[in-house]
Each structure stands twice: as C-alpha cells, then as structure tokens.
Amino acid sequence: MVVSSNLRHVVYMLAVSSLVLGIAEAASLVVRQVGELKQFNGIPGLTHITLAGAVDHGQKEVEAWVETIIPGRGTPIHRHELEEIFIVLKGSGTVYIAPGPESDKNFPGEPEAIPFSSNSTFSIPWNAVHQVINTNDEDLHVYVIISRPPMISYMYKDWNTPHDAAVSIDLPWEKPEESTPTKDEL
C-alpha cells in the first residue's frame, strides 16, 4: 500500500497529539468510538465533536476536536485566551486573523485573509481575533487541538467591534451536560 507523504504527516500529527493528550498512556488508556461521542450543532453550519476534552473526559492541558463546516459557513468572529491548532483533513477555506487586544487598537480592525487547503495546518495565537470560513463548495473537515481547556470565547459582531464590547459565551460543548434526575424507586 502506498501512502502519500501528506497523509503520513496527518497520521503522524494525530498520533503525536494523542500522546500529548495522554490517551495512549497505559495507566489511563481510554478508547472511545468517535461515532458514540456527543455531536454539537450549536453554530449554524458547524458540527463539533470533542474527541478528548476537559468537561466530559477530564483533560487538563489540551483538548482535541473534529469539526465539519458546510460551504459558505464558519465560526463567528471571536478570540480566546488559549492557543488553537487546526489540521485540515479535507476541503479548503480561509482563516481571517487580526492582532489580539494587546495591539494598540481598541478593536480588531481589518483582518488578514489567509487561504488554506487539505493537508495543511495553521495555528491561532493566544487572544488573536479570528474567524474560519469554508470558502469552498465541499464540506471542510478539520482536527483541532486547543491548549488550556475549557475554552471561553469572546464573540464580536464585526471586525470593528471594540474589544471591551466582545461578548463572552459558553460554547455548548464546554458546558457539563445537565443530567436528568432519576426517579427514586424506593
């Protein structure tokens, strides 16, 4: 079987990130079936699955996700106090990124548009205001690794929204699922 160097790179990155996540350590080995994990659709056009996370899996230092974004859709304009790494598994799009609030402006301003495609990777620096859009005509599939979970995002109405007007929201996958009380049969 011939495996392309790009695919080998993606597989290598997934294996390395699994080691970093600690799910490959014998003492805490956890095998999860992706199809059995919770899927979230709280952002229109974006489907999210947490592979290993703080809320549901007890991860302390990093979190891993798989996300699918339909054509023409993407993430809101936002920032967060953590780093984020994207590995593009399939599809293409554009990441828009502006300097973080530590810049001399009180708002993000005009972002830089950086195209990406399948078998590429990009990193979002700590507190950088950004947005990921699927600018292609097929679904975009990405593997995402974040540091310092859980993620608290600050959403912007547009690129001219002042940093102090960005609204903090809890992402649906970063909140513990409320359990339904069971009836006491006694």
Is the alpha carbon torsion for 15, 6, 126, 135 positive or negative? Answer: negative
| Alpha carbon distance 91, 120 (integer Å) | 10
Work out the angle at residue 100's Cα, subtended by the Cα atoms of residues 77 and 105, and round it to the nearest 5 degrees.
100
163 is in an annotated binding site: no
Q: 14 Cβ partners below 8 Å, 6+ apart?
A: 87, 143
Q: 25 Cβ partners below 8 Å, 6+ apart?
A: none
CB 108 within 8 A of CB 99: yes
112 is in an annotated binding site: no
Q: What three-state secondary structure class fits 151?
A: coil
80 is in an annotated binding site: yes
Peptide bond into 176 cis (omega under 30): no
Rounded to the nearest 5°, which phi and psi values hold at 34? -55, -40
Instruction: Indicate the annotated binding residues for Zn(2+).
Output: 78, 80, 84, 130
Instruction: Indicate the annotated binding residues.
Output: 78, 80, 84, 130
